[in-house]
Amino acid sequence: MTVVPQRLYARTGDRKKHESIAFKVNGRLGIPIRDAIKKIYAGLEGRDDPVLVEQSSVIQLRLEWPGYPPWSRKIRLDDWKKASQRISLKKLATEVSKCLERFILVHADKHSDRECSDWRVGPEFIEVNRLVLIALDNVSKGSWQPRIGLLGECP
């Protein structure tokens, strides 16, 4: 598995970062994006644990995919099914995975930067079924950047 070489989102200010949130399935790093979208959580360690309890109710997911402009989406952390409770690790995996799927859908017909054409997304290029969510890294206050793995042949 190759890690997608994203630029690190530029942090602002000097502050304590939160620990990364790892997604481990049966002891190995990474949950396939397609599984998280389909809510297949077999083997996901800590899947029912609440996450980001000390954060505000919304985080900004930041993606710096090679060859594309910076992209971000908000993710709500409150579990609307359970009053005043945070979403679980499995729900976070699903929400992040849906955001990544949306990124690919939105950018599928757009050409990436020539220098990064190997990382082009969409049909016949990199699709959701080849991606694995490894972790989320805290890059600034309220902002998190996914660490993504690519299965199969590297670009």
Q: What confidence tens digit (pLDDT) does each residue in 25-35 have?
A: 999 999 999 99
Residue entry with tokens 């190759």: 2
Which residues lie closer than 8 Å to 142 by C-beta, 6 or more apart? 55, 56, 58, 59, 60
The DSSP secondary-structure symbol of 1 reads -
Distance CA 81, CA 10 (A): 34
Mean pLDDT across 18-26: 93
Residue 104 lies in a domain: yes
Residue 153 lies in a domain: no
Residue 67 belongs to domain spanning: 2-146
Report the first-to-last Cα separation within the chain, whole angstroms: 11
Distance CA 59, CA 74 (A): 6
Mean pLDDT across 62-88: 83
Q: Which contiguous run of DSSP H or E holds residue 115?
A: none
Structural domain count, the chain: 1
Distance CA 56, CA 68 (A): 28
Residue 152 lies in a domain: no
Confidence band, pLDDT 50/70/90 cuts, at residue 83 = low
Residue 151 lies in a domain: no
Lowest-confidence segment of 42-56, 60-74, 107-121 by average pLDDT: 107-121
Residue 60 lies in a domain: yes
Q: Which contiguous run of DSSP H or E holds residue 107?
A: helix 89-107
Residue 67 lies in a domain: yes
- Give the pLDDT score at 16: 57
Residue 154 lies in a domain: no
Query: Nearest 5 degrees, angle CA 87-CA 9-CA 128?
Result: 60
